[in-house]
């Protein structure tokens, strides 16, 4: 009896840009994509951390691009560096993001603009640049935006974060509608409460930590590794007919 060796999750020979690949969820997703066969173009503001060594230990190439995504001026350089180093682009993971906390009554314009610029404006213009490349190259491509529980819920004291991540969900749908015909899949992952720098303040607050943990059906904070399967799925041929979806990876939080 003959067995098929077709693996719909195989990413051998693919090239992925991962923004914010130096820490937290971005580092976890870069490693997962490398383990599935991808070369990684890692976009970092500063030091790339341990990600290059971990990607190379998985047998793949890591191309470092230093860029500050608080301005869209970085977008052309990122695409240019990726294509110059790797000759092509197949996958974009729009992961870099920031959060600012303050009461809505006092929330300032700086905290609004800083978050919207990184979490929404650069996400759109990087997606646009990647899609232009996919269309010029032919053969489609994959864009994975990182959303949040606050794409579905209101949250508290994080006005610009909620606005940006709710925007990411809508933008993911719009881009999917426009680019599906080009063979470009645009989807998002909405992580639940994950133990990274982004949530350090919440975890340090014993009361909030307890409230959050008691509401997560899985009974634990998520870890970067929890995004490995979902990101490989959305980056691979296994998801070729999945368009405009935001996949919650949340230990059951939204099911409550």
Give the active site residues.
161
137 binds ligand NAD (CB under 6 A): no
Helices 74-86 and 122-137: angle between axes, nearest 10 degrees:
40
CB contact at 8 A, 33 and 232? yes
Which of 16, 36, 75, 96 binds ligand NAD (CB under 6 A)? It is 96
How many CB atoms within 10 Å of residue 146? 26
| Distance between CA atoms of residues 72 and 55, nearest Å | 27
CB contact at 8 A, 113 and 164? no
x-or-dash string of contact with ligand NAD, 226-255, rule CB under 6 A: ------------------------------
160 binds ligand NAD (CB under 6 A): no
Q: Which part of the chain contacts ligand NAD (CB under 6 A), choosing from 10-18, 22-30, 79-87, 233-241?
A: 22-30
Q: Is 60 helix (H, G, I), strand (E, B) or coil?
A: coil
69 binds ligand NAD (CB under 6 A): yes
Rounded to 5 degrees, φ, ψ at 227 are -90, -5
Residue 197 has which token pair?
């720098």
Stretch 27-46 residues interacting with ligand NAD (CB under 6 A):
45
126 binds ligand NAD (CB under 6 A): no
Query: Which CB sits closer to ligand NAD, 16 or 118?
Result: 118
141 binds ligand NAD (CB under 6 A): no
Which of 14, 26, 91, 134 binds ligand NAD (CB under 6 A)? It is 26
Which of 51, 95, 187, 246 binds ligand NAD (CB under 6 A)? It is 95
User: At its nearest, how many Å lie between ligand NAD and the CB of residue 204?
Assistant: 14
Dihedral, 86, 92, 95, 96 alpha carbons, nearest 10:
60
How many CB atoms within 10 Å of residue 89? 21
User: At its nearest, how many Å lie between ligand NAD and the CB of residue 25?
Assistant: 4
68 binds ligand NAD (CB under 6 A): yes
Dihedral, 124, 254, 218, 98 alpha carbons, nearest 10:
30
Number of residues that bind ligand NAD (CB under 6 A): 25
196 binds ligand NAD (CB under 6 A): yes
201 binds ligand NAD (CB under 6 A): no
Q: Which residues contact 253 (CB under 8 A, 6 or more apart)?
A: 149, 192, 193, 215, 216, 217
Q: Which residues contact 248 (CB under 8 A, 6 or more apart)?
A: 149, 152, 190, 192, 254
Please give the residue ranges that form the binding site for ligand NAD (CB under 6 A). Answer: 19-20, 22-26, 45, 68-70, 95-98, 118, 146, 148, 191, 193-194, 196-199
């Amino acid at each position: 009896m003959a067995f098929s060796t077709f693996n719909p999750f195989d990413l051998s020979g693919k090239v992925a840009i991962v923004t914010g690949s130096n820490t937290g969820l971005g580092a976890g997703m870069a490693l997962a994509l490398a383990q599935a066969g991808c070369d990684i173009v890692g976009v970092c503001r500063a030091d790339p951390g341990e990600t290059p060594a971990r990607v190379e230990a998985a047998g793949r190439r890591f191309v470092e691009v230093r860029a500050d995504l608080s301005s869209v001026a970085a977008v052309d350089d990122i695409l240019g560096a990726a294509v110059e180093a790797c000759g092509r682009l197949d996958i974009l993971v729009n992961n870099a993001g920031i959060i600012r906390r303050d009461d809505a009554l006092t929330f300032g314009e700086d905290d609004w603009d800083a978050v919207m610029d990184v979490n929404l404006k650069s996400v759109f213009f990087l997606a646009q640049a990647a899609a232009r490349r996919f269309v010029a190259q032919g053969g489609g491509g994959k864009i994975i935006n990182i959303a949040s529980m606050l794409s579905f819920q209101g949250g508290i004291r994080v006005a610009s974060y909620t606005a940006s991540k709710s925007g990411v969900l809508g933008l993911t749908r719009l881009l999917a509608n426009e680019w599906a015909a080009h063979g470009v899949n645009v989807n998002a992952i909405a992580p639940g409460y994950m133990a990274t720098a982004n949530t350090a303040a919440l975890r340090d607050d014993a009361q909030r930590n307890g409230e959050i943990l008691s509401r997560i059906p899985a009974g634990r904070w998520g870890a970067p590794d929890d995004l490995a399967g979902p990101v490989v799925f959305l980056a691979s041929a296994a998801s070729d007919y999945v368009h405009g979806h935001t996949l919650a990876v949340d230990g059951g939080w939204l099911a409550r």
